[in-house]
Amino acid sequence: MGTRSVLWSFANKFFTCGVIGVYVSDRFVGVAPVRGFSMSPTLNPGTTSLMGLPIDDYVLVEKRCLQNYKFSHGDVVVFRLVGTFCSSPSNHKERHIKRITALHGEWIGTRHSYDVLKIPEGHCWVEGDNSSSSLDSRSFGPIPLALIQGRVTHIAWPPKRIGAVEKRTPQDTISSS
């Protein structure tokens, strides 16, 4: 009888912790891996391990900003592309991490072309910090704010890079309406 109550107690605590963990990661904060070099040098600056293998950054993603879609220039955000926005039809679950450079109602002029575009209501323009290796709004256009899953606030891993992610905005792309 004692073994059964110990197992039940353990299972009950394990289940409770799991439910609380899922709730917290869904509503408040989560952790996301950074893949690729599109946000270098801010994220994944090419740090290597002792064995010479690249180390991916892991970032904290704050989700309270989703309640009112309160974003500003320079915010680094996590989003998924779906439907016509999807860059990889075979992997629609792929998450992207980019910096917001323009919000709805603003005009954006891309650096590599002479196009000028007004960002529609409920959308934003995102770009990677490393423009030479970034698939971003210059390729697929403005993204709906509803696709954003959270704002990156801190680097959580590797330990030598732990710290806040700074807000930076390219000055040559923003213009008010």
What is the distance between the alpha carbons of residues 167 and 107, in angstroms, rounded to a whole number? 20
What is the distance between the alpha carbons of residues 2 and 6, in angstroms, rounded to a whole number? 6
On whether the CB atoms of residues 74 and 99 are closer than 8 A, the answer is: yes
On whether the CB atoms of residues 154 and 165 are closer than 8 A, the answer is: yes
The residues that are catalytic are: 38, 98
Instruction: Quote the tokens at residue 21.
Output: 């963990």
